[in-house]
DNA sequence: CAACATCGAGCACGCCCATGC
DNA sequence: AGCATGGGCGTGCTCGATGTT
C-alpha cells in the first residue's frame, strides 16, 4: 500500500524533474521555464499533491501563518478584528490561529507570549484593547514579526508597530450633533481605556470646550452590561442630564434600560449615542445613533502590514450615523 | 553566535542524557527514573527550552491542535462555539486554529476541506449550522479526526460524530408559557435550518398541538436582521397575532422593531420570545424572554470528544428564561 | 536464565536552501 | 539560465543495549 499523501519527490518523479524544481514551482521562483513549470503543475494536479505545512514551517524556521492574541473573541470590537484577520489571512493562503490571554496576570501574559514565540505561529497580531492585551504587547520579544491593533493613538511608551482606528473626530461630531440639537451639555459614560485620554473622551471634551459647554465628570463603566447599567442609573437620577455619549453600543443598551427604569424616555427626555454600530443598532427601538467602527478593516490592515506588500490598507475612518435615539431636549 | 532557540539536544547535553530521554520526559513516558526526569526538567528550565511544535507535528504526522471550521465567527452561536473550543483547546495545551468557509459553493467547501486535511491542523471541529458548514462536514474525508457541532438531532444521513444542544424541550416550554399566559396561539419566525423540522419548530408545534391550539404557518427569515424585520412586518400587520416565538434573539430584535413601527407594543399588544439569551437580552427594554443556549459549552464538549479522555462533557440543556417581553394578551 | 526497567543510537518526517554542474 | 544533489530544520519512534531483580 502506498503512502497516504504524495510528497514533493513523488511529484518530481511524475513530472520528470528533481524535487528541487518542484520546490521552486511551489515558491514560484522565477528560474523555472514555463513549460517545466506547467509539467510540474500538471503532476501536482494529477497526484492531488498538497504541501505539508509543518515541514515547510520546520525548514523555513517560521510558518506562513498569522495568529491573533486577544483577551476576548466575542465582544464586538475584538470579534471584528478577528474576523478581519481571518479573512485577510485566508486570502493570502496563511494558516490562521488564535490565542486568548485569560487575564493580565503575569502568568497568563507569559504563557501567551511563549505560545506565539513558537515558529509555527507565524506572524502575530496582538489585540491590545485592554490590560491583558497590552501586557502581552509589552512582553513581546523583539524580532518576532508582529503588529498590534490598539486604541486610537497607540500605546504611549511602547515601541511596536501599532495600527488603530481614530474615532476622535467622530466623537467630537457626535458631541456637536447633540449640542446642535439644543442640549446644554453632553455626559459621557466611558468604557475601559489603556490611555489617559481616550479618543472618545478627547473628542467629546474638545467639542464641549470649544462650544463653551460645561464638561461633566466622566462616568466610568466596565465591559460588562451590569456596570454600564449602574453608570446609567447614576445619570438617570440626575434630571439635568439630557444627553449621554456612551462608550459603546452595549453600554448604550444598559444606559437606555436604566433610563427607562427611571421613567425617562429616549430620545424624548434623554438622547443617547453609542460607539461601534453593531448590526442590531439600526433595529433598536428607537434605532441607535452611533459611531460606526470598522474593526474588520482594522484586522485586515494588520495582516496587510505584516505581509508588507507595500500597499497599506486604507482604514475607513469612524463616522457618526444619526438615527432615532437623539433628538432635541424636551422644552419645558 | 549560538542558535536562538535551544533544542532537545541542548537540553540533553545539559542534563547529561540522550535526546531521546528528553523526548520521553516531554511526552511523559513512564520509563524514566524520577531523578533523571528531574535533571532533565531542571535543564529545560535553565535553558528556557520550548519544544518546537512544527517539528513535533512533522514527526508525529499530525499536530497537537484543534481547528474549527465555520461559516461565521461573529454571530452569537458561532462565536460561542469558537470561544468554547478555544478555551478547552488552550487548557489542553493545543494549538487552536480557525478557518472560515466563505460559502457553500463547491470551491469554497473544497478549499476548506483541503485546508484542514493538512496534518498541522490537528483535530477538527466543524460548525455545521448552515449549508456551508454541513457541506464541509459531508465532504470531509474519512479518517480525519473530527467532530461536528450541529443543530439539535444532528444531520440525518451523515455518518460523523456530531454533538449538539437540544432546545426542543425549551421551545415547547416557551410555547406553553405563552399559551399559559392566555394567548390563543403562538406564531413562529424561523431562522434557517439544515433539517426538515428543527428542534425549535418541532417543540413549538408539539406544544401547540398538544394544547389543541391552531398551528400557524411558519414565517421564514434569514440570518440577517433585514429579513427578520420583513418577517416581523408581515406578522405585525395581522392584528390576530399576539405572541411570537422568534428563531433567535437577533430575530426578536428586528421583529420587535417591526411591531413598534406598526404601533404595537411589546408586551402589551404582542409577546415575543427569542432563542440564545445574548448578553444584552436582559438589558433590553423590555428585557427579553428567551431560551438560554450554552454554545461555549458545546464548543468545549467538541474538544473533549476529540480528546476522548473518557469523560464526556455534560451539556447544559437549553432553558427558558422568563423576563419582560411576555405578558397576558390585552383583554378586549 | 527470564523478565523488566531504563536509556541510547539512528532514522524518518517533508520541505527549503546552498552548492555545484 | 536552468537543473540536480546533499545537508539541515527539531522532533518522535523503532530497535537494541545495558543493568537489575
Q: Which residue has the higher pLDDT, B148 or A308?
A: B148
Touching B: A residues 65-104, CB under 8 Å:
73-74, 79-80, 82-83, 86-87, 90, 95-100
| Residue B265 in this model has a pLDDT that exceeds 70 | yes
Q: Which cell numbers hold the place of B150? A: 450541529
Interatomic separation, CA of residue B20 and C1' of nucleotide D16, rounded (Å): 14
In whole angstroms, give the CA distance from residue B303 to residue B146: 9
Quick check: is A33 in a domain? yes
Report the residue of chain B nearest A144, measured CA to CA. Answer: B4
Interatomic separation, CA of residue B117 and C1' of nucleotide D7, rounded (Å): 29
Q: What is the pLDDT of residue B3?
A: 46
Q: Do B33 and B69 reside in the same domain of the chain?
A: no
Over residues B289-325, the pLDDT tens digits come to: 999 999 999 999 999 999 867 677 789 999 999 999 9
Interatomic separation, CA of residue B120 and C1' of nucleotide D6, rounded (Å): 27
Q: Which of A279-288, A301-310, B51-60, B93-102 has the lowest mean pLDDT?
A: A301-310
Quick check: is B304 in a domain? no
Chain-centre distance of CA A113, in angstroms?
A: 19
| Residue A141 in this model has a pLDDT that exceeds 70 | yes
Residues facing residue A100 across a β-bridge: A70
In whole angstroms, give the CA distance from residue B138 to residue B106: 12
Burial class of A181 by CB neighbour count within 10 A (0 to 12, 13 to 18, 19+): middle
State the average pLDDT over residues B214-218.
97
- Sequence-distant (≥ 6) Cβ neighbours of residue B214 within 8 angstroms: B184, B185, B208
Q: What is the pLDDT of residue A18?
A: 86
Q: What is the pLDDT of residue B180?
A: 98
State the average pLDDT over residues B144-149.
96
- The domain that contains A31 carries what CATH number? 1.10.260.40
Q: Which cell numbers hold the place of B103? A: 460559502
Q: What is the pLDDT of residue B320?
A: 98
In whole angstroms, give the CA distance from residue A231 to residue A222: 9
In whole angstroms, give the CA distance from residue B215 to residue B185: 7
Quick check: is A198 in a domain? yes
- Per the structure, the count of domains in chain A is 3
Q: Do A40 and A74 reside in the same domain of the chain?
A: no
Any B CB within 8 A of A31 CB: no
Chain-centre distance of CA A142, in angstroms?
A: 23
Place of cell 456637536: A176
Q: B199-210 vs B168-180: helix axis angle to the nearest 10? A: 40
Q: Do A247 and A265 reside in the same domain of the chain?
A: yes
Neighbours of A217 (CB within 10 A): 7
| Residue A79 in this model has a pLDDT that exceeds 70 | yes
Report CB contact under 8 Å: A99, B114.
no
Comparing every residue's Cα with the C1' atom of nucleotide D1, the nearest one is: A31
Q: What is the pLDDT of residue A1?
A: 36
State the average pLDDT over residues A256-283.
98
Place of cell 433590553: B284
Burial class of A222 by CB neighbour count within 10 A (0 to 12, 13 to 18, 19+): middle
| Residue A97 in this model has a pLDDT that exceeds 70 | yes
Any A CB within 8 A of B48 CB: no
Name the band, by pLDDT with cuts 50, 70 and 90, for residue B267. Answer: very high
Q: Is B61 left (phi over 0), alpha (psi -120 to 50) or beta?
A: left
Q: Do B117 and B190 reside in the same domain of the chain?
A: no
Q: Which residue has the higher pLDDT, B171 or A313?
A: B171
Of A95, A282, A287, the CB nearest to B120: A95
With CA atoms as reference, report the closest residue to A274 among A74, A72, A77, A131: A77
In whole angstroms, give the CA distance from residue B200 to residue B177: 14
Quick check: is B2 in a domain? no
Any A CB within 8 A of B13 CB: no
Of B97, B229, B253, the CB nearest to A97: B97
Q: Which cell numbers hold the place of A133? A: 492585551
**Residue numbers in B near A299 (CB within 8 A):** none
Comparing every residue's Cα with the C1' atom of nucleotide D6, the nearest one is: A20
Q: What is the pLDDT of residue B332?
A: 54
> Where do runs of H (alpha helix) occur along chain A?
8-15, 19-26, 34-47, 53-60, 76-91, 106-117, 131-139, 168-180, 199-210, 225-236, 249-261, 295-307
% of chain B with per-residue pLDDT over 70: 98
Quick check: is B233 in a domain? yes
Quick check: is A264 in a domain? yes
The SS3 of residue A146 is: strand
Q: What is the pLDDT of residue A332?
A: 54
Q: Do A29 and A73 reside in the same domain of the chain?
A: no
Q: What is the pLDDT of residue A310?
A: 67
Quick check: is A321 in a domain? no
Burial class of A19 by CB neighbour count within 10 A (0 to 12, 13 to 18, 19+): middle
Q: What is the pLDDT of residue B283?
A: 98
% of chain B with per-residue pLDDT over 90: 82
Q: What is the pLDDT of residue A178?
A: 98
CA-to-CA separations, A208 to A184, A324, B232, in angstroms, rounded: 10, 22, 40
Burial class of B311 by CB neighbour count within 10 A (0 to 12, 13 to 18, 19+): exposed
Q: Do B172 and B195 reside in the same domain of the chain?
A: yes
Of residues 60 to 99 in chain A, which lie within 7 A of strand C by their beta carbon?
A: 60
Q: Which nucleotide is nearest to A60 (CA to C1')?
A: C16
Q: Do B152 and B246 reside in the same domain of the chain?
A: no
Q: Do A279 and A223 reside in the same domain of the chain?
A: yes
Place of cell 444598559: A254
- The domain that contains A174 carries what CATH number? 3.40.50.2300
Q: What is the pLDDT of residue A39?
A: 87
| B307 close to B273: Cβ distance less than 8 angstroms | no
Comparing every residue's Cα with the C1' atom of nucleotide C18, the nearest one is: A20
Q: Is A108 left (phi over 0), alpha (psi -120 to 50) or beta?
A: alpha
Q: Is the CB of B20 under 7 A from strand C?
A: yes
Name the band, by pLDDT with cuts 50, 70 and 90, for residue A37. Answer: confident
Average pLDDT of chain A, as a whole number? 94
| Residue B60 in this model has a pLDDT that exceeds 50 | yes
State the average pLDDT over residues A303-309.
87
With CA atoms as reference, report the closest residue to A54 among B16, B65, B68: B65
From A164, A199, A218, the end of a domain falls on A164
Q: Do B203 and B150 reside in the same domain of the chain?
A: no
Report CB contact under 8 Å: A90, B73.
no
Q: Do B155 and B200 reside in the same domain of the chain?
A: no
In whole angstroms, give the CA distance from residue A284 to residue B317: 29
In whole angstroms, give the CA distance from residue A258 to residue B329: 26
Q: Which residue has the higher pLDDT, B113 or B12?
A: B113
Q: What is the pLDDT of residue A3?
A: 46
Quick check: is A94 in a domain? yes
State the average pLDDT over residues A60-69.
95
Q: Do B179 and B210 reside in the same domain of the chain?
A: yes
Name the band, by pLDDT with cuts 50, 70 and 90, for residue A121. Answer: very high
Any A CB within 8 A of B120 CB: yes
Termini Cα distance of chain A: 88
Q: Do B277 and B179 reside in the same domain of the chain?
A: yes
Over residues A232-247, the pLDDT tens digits come to: 999 999 999 999 999 9
Residue of A53, A141, A266 to mutate, interface with B, max B Cβ within 10 Å? A53
| Strand D neighbors by CB, 7 A | A 17-21, 24, 30-33, 36, 55, 58-59, 61; B 3, 5, 7-9, 19-20, 23, 26-27, 49-52, 55-56, 58-60
Neighbours of A234 (CB within 10 A): 15
Q: Which domain holds residue A244?
A: 168-293
Residue of B74, B116, B233 to mutate, interface with A, max A Cβ within 10 Å? B74
Report CB contact under 8 Å: A83, B73.
yes
Q: Which nucleotide is nearest to B15 (CA to C1')?
A: C7
**Residue numbers in B near A283 (CB within 8 A):** 225, 229, 253-254, 257
Chain A: closest CA distance from residue B120 (Å): 6
Name the band, by pLDDT with cuts 50, 70 and 90, for residue B1. Answer: very low
Amino acid at each position: 500500500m502506498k503512502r497516504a499523501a504524495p510528497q514533493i519527490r513523488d511529484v518530481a518523479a511524475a513530472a520528470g524533474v528533481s524535487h528541487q524544481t518542484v520546490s521552486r514551482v511551489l515558491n514560484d521562483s522565477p528560474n523555472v521555464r514555463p513549460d517545466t513549470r506547467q509539467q510540474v503543475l500538471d503532476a501536482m494536479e494529477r497526484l492531488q499533491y498538497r504541501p505539508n505545512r509543518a515541514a515547510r514551517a520546520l525548514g523555513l524556521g517560521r510558518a506562513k501563518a498569522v495568529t491573533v492574541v486577544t483577551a476576548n473573541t466575542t465582544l464586538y470590537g475584538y470579534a471584528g478584528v478577528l474576523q478581519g484577520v481571518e479573512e485577510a489571512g485566508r486570502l493570502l493562503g496563511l494558516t490562521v490561529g488564535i490565542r486568548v490571554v485569560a487575564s493580565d496576570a503575569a502568568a497568563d501574559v507569559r504563557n501567551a507570549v511563549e505560545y506565539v514565540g513558537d515558529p509555527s505561529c507565524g506572524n502575530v497580531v496582538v489585540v491590545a484593547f485592554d490590560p491583558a492585551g497590552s501586557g502581552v504587547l509589552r512582553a513581546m520579544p523583539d524580532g518576532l514579526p508582529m503588529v498590534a491593533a490598539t486604541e486610537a493613538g497607540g500605546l504611549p511608551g511602547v515601541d511596536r508597530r501599532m495600527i488603530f482606528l481614530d474615532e476622535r473626530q467622530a466623537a467630537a461630531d457626535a458631541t456637536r450633533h447633540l449640542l446642535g440639537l439644543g442640549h446644554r451639555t453632553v455626559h459621557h459614560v466611558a468604557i475601559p481605556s489603556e490611555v489617559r485620554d481616550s479618543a472618545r473622551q478627547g473628542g467629546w471634551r474638545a467639542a464641549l470646550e470649544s462650544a463653551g459647554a460645561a464638561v461633566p465628570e466622566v462616568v466610568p463603566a466596565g465591559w460588562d452590561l451590569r456596570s454600564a447599567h449602574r453608570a446609567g442609573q447614576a445619570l438617570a437620577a440626575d434630571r439635568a442630564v439630557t444627553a449621554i455619549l456612551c462608550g459603546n453600543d452595549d453600554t448604550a443598551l444598559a444606559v437606555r434600560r436604566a433610563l427607562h427604569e427611571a421613567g425617562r424616555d429616549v430620545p424624548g427626555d434623554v438622547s443617547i449615542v453609542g460607539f461601534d454600530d453593531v448590526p442590531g443598532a439600526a433595529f433598536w427601538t428607537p434605532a441607535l445613533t452611533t459611531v460606526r467602527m470598522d474593526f474588520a478593516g482594522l484586522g485586515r490592515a494588520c495582516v496587510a502590514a505584516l505581509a508588507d506588500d507595500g500597499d497599506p490598507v486604507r482604514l475607513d475612518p469612524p463616522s457618526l450615523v444619526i438615527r432615532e435615539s437623539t433628538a432635541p431636549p424636551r422644552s419645558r
